[in-house]
Amino acid sequence: MSKFPYRQEREELKELLHQYSNLKSGKSNSFIEEDGFERIIDYFDEKEQFNQGLEAVGYAIEQYSYSSGLLLKKADLLISLRRYKEALYILENAELLDSTDTTLYILKTDAFLALDMQKKAAAVLETAIESFEGEEKIDLLFELADVYDDYENFEKVFDCLQIILHQDPSNEEALYKICFWTDFTGRNEEGIKIHQRILEDFPYNELAWFNLGAAYQGLKLHEKSIDAYLYAVAIDEKFDYAYRNMGDAYIKLRKYKEAIEVLEKVIELARPEAVIYEAIGHCYDRSYNFAQARFNYKKASHLNPEEAQMHYKIACTYMNESNWNNAIKSLETAARISKLQPEYNLALGRCYMELGNIEEAITYFGNVVRVRPKNISGWIELLKCMFKGNLFSEGIEYASFAHEQTDSKPIFLFYKAMFLFASGKSKEALLQLENGLVISPKLIKKFIELNPSILQSQPVVELIAKYKKRG
């Protein structure tokens, strides 16, 4: 054997190409073996010189007219040149010579798919699969799964993978793929049974444990999913996706301490990702540890600085600490990235209102109702701000407008009544309040929250008492 096999192969190919050149020019002593022609054809194919390859296969077939392998190479080149019907004709001839090569059926499938004839492509493979066993059958099943995927028969994709795993329970490619398709098709119960059967015979297959966990998770059986993931990481302690999914399951169970532990393990094992830092931040947020939440949100933001939502989440941690000025800085960054996002404008309005800057607050609340005129919360915040700023006459007008824009939501009758009371228009205010109580007496709580001192008014107390039983 040569010390430098690559160099030897290159020299042999160079000699073959020289012989081929002689053959084309009609020189004598230019006979080439069939496998030599195959190497020449592969050379042109790899260089994407498909027409030269087609010319070479033509010379080869002249010498080896009964070679099904050469016909398959010709069909492959024709497919590369988008001459699909010619390729199918060649494949029919190849099948007459040898129907036991899976490449024949794969090439037929490729041609039919290129012609947008998915059902014919599937039929070719469905028929062929019956004639093969072992690895060849599995290869064709994978091809068939891809065909079903191509014309969106997703249930059949799952079925193909299920058959493969019945034939070869440890097939990694099938295990990876069926995890996705179990979730996509929602066939979690079947997924559980498939992987339980595999684990009976192969208890140390970490992928099967992972898939079992994912199937349980798809059914919201989070405790069972965690148990399965724990087996997966016991077998492979560097299985970062198992830790990742386990973290998600712990979050769903509101076990934030445990979630943080496994998500930090993901960071140890894999490349840092914004989504993991965000999830850790979320856990600290829900645990009321806003400083640590912010620390992790900032790490996520450094990895993905153009993600406006992350700046918003950072702002929310400041808001939870009543640190309004820092919250505003983060919210302004979020708003620069995603202009007129109602969520960010609503938060900015709240911050400025807390700081007593009513004018700025009204500007931001105004942005919210302009973008989402049917959104109730935007109008409520705007009206609260106006009440706090003693803008009573404007409040009367805007409460009417809010009522109109939100398809007559009764809450705005109560708000209009409060503005009328504050403006000294008690008679009209009592009429508006009664209109609101007739429709939704339970909303009286929102009315009182706006100005608790209103309960010092005897007519208001009497009116509330009149409708109290109806609420």
* pLDDT of 12 strictly over 80: no
Does residue 72 sit within a domain? yes
Which domain, by its residues, includes 70? 1-98
Last residue of a domain, one of 81, 98, 115: 98
Does residue 82 sit within a domain? yes
pLDDT in tens, 399-448: 999 999 999 999 999 999 999 999 999 999 999 999 999 999 999 998 99
pLDDT in tens, 320-339: 999 999 999 999 999 999 88
pLDDT in tens, 151-189: 899 999 999 999 999 999 999 999 999 999 999 999 999
Neighbours of 188 (CB within 10 A): 18
Query: Cβ neighbours of residue 353 under 8 Å, at least 6 residues apart?
Result: 361, 381, 384, 385, 388
In the chain, the number of structural domains is: 2
Start-to-end C-alpha separation, the chain: 95
Picking from 400, 354, 345, the residue whose alpha carbon sits closest to that of residue 377 is 345
What CATH number is given to the structural domain containing 18? 1.25.40.10
What does the chain come to in residues?
A: 471
Rg (CA), the chain: 36
On whether the CB atoms of residues 60 and 47 are closer than 8 A, the answer is no
Does residue 122 sit within a domain? no
What is d(CA 100, CA 326) in angstroms, rounded to the nearest whole number? Answer: 72
- Render 269-311 in DSSP notation, one character per residue: HS---HHHHHHHHHHHHHTT-HHHHHHHHHHHHHHSTT-HHHH
Does residue 348 sit within a domain? no
Does residue 56 sit within a domain? yes
What is d(CA 127, CA 121) in angstroms, rounded to the nearest whole number? Answer: 10
Does residue 61 sit within a domain? yes
Q: What angle do CA 430, 435, 440 make, to 5 degrees?
A: 120
Last residue of a domain, one of 53, 78, 98: 98
Does residue 213 sit within a domain? no
Helices (H), 98-203: 102-114, 118-129, 134-150, 154-167, 172-185, 188-201
pLDDT in tens, 335-375: 999 887 899 999 999 999 999 999 999 999 999 999 999 99
Give the pLDDT band of residue 225 (cuts 50, 70, 90): very high
Does residue 14 sit within a domain? yes
pTM of the model: 0.81
Give CA torsion, residues 266, 194, 151, 177, to 10 deg: 30
On whether the CB atoms of residues 457 and 421 are closer than 8 A, the answer is yes
Last residue of a domain, one of 98, 120, 147: 98
**What is the helix, strand, coil percentage profile of the chain, to 5?**
80, 0, 20
